[in-house]
Amino acid sequence: MIEPKDFIRAQVVADLDSGKHARSVTRFPPEPNGYLHIGHAKSICLNFGIAVESGGDCHLRFDDTNPEKESQEYIDAIQRDVEWLGFKWAGPVRYASDYFDVLHDYAVELIKLGKAYVDSQSADDMRANRGTLSEPGRNSPYRDRSVDENLALFAQMRAGELADGSCALRAKIDMASGNINLRDPVLYRIRKQHHHQTGGKWCIYPMYDYTHPISDALEFITHSLCTLEFEDHRPFYDWLLDTLAHVLPQPSSVVTVWKKVGAAAGDSTVLPHPQQIEFSRLNVNYTVTSKRKLKQLVDEGLVHGWDDPRMPTISGMRRRGYSPEALRDFCARVGVTKSDGVVDVGMLEFCVREHLENSAPRAMAVLRPLKVVLTNFPASEVKAIRAARHPNHPEMGERDIPFTHEIYIDSADFEEVPPKGYKRLIPGGEVRLRNAYIIKCDEVIKDSAGHITELRCSCDLDTFGRNPEDRKVKGVVHWVSASHGIPCEVRLYSRLFTDAAPDRGDVDFKTFINPQALEVVQAVIEPSLAAAQPEERFQFEREGYFCADRHDSQPGKPVFNLTVGLRDSWKPGA
């Protein structure tokens, strides 16, 4: 049962308890002009979450009113993202374009009511006459056209007889209003553009502010949830639905739509009036969430597509290895408020680690291999070591790790001249190999340039599974068999931007792109990892959490992406 844990859920609970609504109906209305990002994840979790918690419905409706910037690729990606996050929309996928006939017919009714007119000013003149926050706008010289003249001109717009930009249909409200959104907003503009859903049927397209409230009403949405930038648009939302309440009987196109969604024609003679409620959008530091700017990164080749693991898109985070459970947990921790703020990206990374800590099996991978020859371990012997796939979840089972005469350790785990406090391998020093023996470095082999190419070490064969009684060995390093390990490409990702506020506006955001946000290394992984399936997640012991790339991994030859490191700088309550 839904709990009133935030002001929106409290309103839903109150409306259900009072009988105002028999059930809640929300909607998620993305524009198909780009991939969804972390900010959309919050809206998805809120709209679909309320439906799940209250036993109501949530519609997926594409706001496809600007075909010039839209594509089927984006539509498909958005549906994948919603489903991957763990949600399912009620009924079929909906489109604002499903209602183009209704939107047109209501525009005609507004003209007949004297509430809309065709303005033949240029876009620049409309903008100049709109006024400012401190000065009222000026009436268009075409504002007082007769109803018949407006109907005739709108019909010409619809028929494609007028040029793009030559005129627009505007609502007739109040050019002196303190709210600029009520200064005769544009309802329709001419765009002779092929539409991905309706083809060439239309050459005029409705504006979002006009489309949104009518679409909500046609679908009997009870609570229309928007981010705070739409708060100043709510008066027009309400004005439009209040004005259309005087349209009786409903146009035949409305009745057709209602019959299609299962509402009898007599169920509602007046267009319903959903309640728009605003909440703060999700802003995360070190992140850009403008779709225009994200598209710029893609188009200019600064990232490898919309699902590049460095991108804050849901597809990118999925490819990097973030889990849907972690994203849902993050959105729940952020909560729903009316106060704008910036969330620390460390909180997101904390949620990712917390989920993977308990769900990701363990394995060993050496990212920067340094060869170690174990001089006293037989060259022909292969010792099979059994190790748990997860220390706290025996139900995950075990894996076999081959131990051989030659192994690899990470080059960072050896220092010829160690810094103070160094607890890994040094000349003459000892460390324990994870799940195996204690070894001692006896000799360092270098090439002609003085680079270390190999270590010769001896193995204390009495220390498998137990500590020596005569000394303490503190350091532990991971390793992989040189003869049985699998060569593997590993992509090490870090934050895409070096500045906490890359989108602050006073500097081009691209100047903050981190040139070290991606490093590709040729690693060696333990044999059990060769069977990793695309999107399967692991903890590489002592390194971090990694995910098999969903596109580039092949059977027996996975490619791994760094999801997040092991160390955490953010704590709950920080």
Q: Supply 490's token pair.
A: 């590993």
- The Cα 425–Cα 411 span in angstroms is 10
For the question of residue 291 being annotated catalytic, the response is: yes
Q: Which residue has the tokens 């204690």?
A: 438
- The Cα 184–Cα 186 span in angstroms is 7
For the question of residue 281 being annotated catalytic, the response is: yes
Q: Residue 218 to residues 49, 201, 226: CA-CA distances in angstroms?
A: 22, 21, 18
- The Cα 29–Cα 27 span in angstroms is 6
Active-site entry in 130, 281, 371, 456: 281
Pairing relationship of beta strands 94-95 and 57-62 according to DSSP bridges: parallel
Active-site entry in 27, 61, 189, 291: 291
Residues pairing with 490 in the sheet: 521, 560
Do 529 and 389 touch, CB atoms closer than 8 A? no
Angle at 107 between CA 102 and CA 108, to 5 degrees: 100
Active-site entry in 31, 357, 406, 415: 31
Maximum CA extent, the chain: 103
Do 170 and 185 touch, CB atoms closer than 8 A? yes
285: left (phi over 0), alpha (psi -120 to 50) or beta: beta
- The Cα 574–Cα 567 span in angstroms is 16
- The Cα 54–Cα 13 span in angstroms is 8
Pairing relationship of beta strands 168-171 and 116-119 according to DSSP bridges: antiparallel
Do 549 and 558 touch, CB atoms closer than 8 A? yes
Q: Residue 23 to residues 2, 48, 54, 137: CA-CA distances in angstroms?
A: 12, 14, 8, 42
Catalytic residues: 31, 281, 291
